[in-house]
Structure 1
């Protein structure tokens, strides 16, 4: 293998390594976690997100597993039409990220 090919393979592996870390959980997986009490209910998680932006509406949600940790991602639109991206710890409800969508 020549050096250029090796370089491209190494670059591809580095770039795609981050993509494989987090994975979206399917509905049946989320239900098992909810039933087991491993994660908080989606109602509680949505309420925690909405508490950061009173009057906002939930536009999208997603549950992910990343290195054994469960993250709940919520997209909100506030009363002024500003969109917000929040990420919560699905086990504790702690808001980990809260930033305006750009």
Structure 2
């Protein structure tokens, strides 16, 4: 493999990795999306997540954008101390992932 081919492959991998990563949104960006009605209120998203594990408490939340979609990620701790990772569509409120943290 010549240097130009190797450089091209590495460049494509770096560009591809950068495009695939989710981007955390700032508080100002989140507020703009809320004000525009683009995403659901966080109170509603939190209630949806907590309904999946009654008696659980929120330990962390974050809003991300990936491929033009807004994801609300929630970490919960249930009454037994088990940690859960949930991911919701921030536009519809649909639960996309709900699994025990390992």
TM range (shorter): 0.7 to 0.9
Q: Do the aligned residues in 1 keep the contact of 2:64 with 2:72 (CA within 8 Å)?
A: yes
Match of 2:34 in 1: 34
Alpha-carbon separation, structure 1, partners of 2:82 and 2:18: 29
Gapped runs of 5+ residues in structure 2?
none
Q: Deviations over 1:64-96 (max 9, x none)?
A: 011111000000000000000000000010000
- Give the TM-score normalised by structure 2: 0.86
Matched residue of 1:72: which SS? strand
Q: Name the residue aligned to 1:13.
A: 13
Over aligned residue pairs, what C-alpha RMSD do you find? 2.5
2:63 aligned with 1:63: yes
**Distance (Å, rounded) in 1 between the aligned partners of 2:99 and 2:60:** 15
Cα 1:79/1:19, change in 2 over 3 Å: farther
- CA gap of 1:78–1:12, structure 2 versus 1, over 3 A, is farther
1:17 is paired with a residue whose SS is helix
Unmatched tracts of structure 1, length 5 or more: none
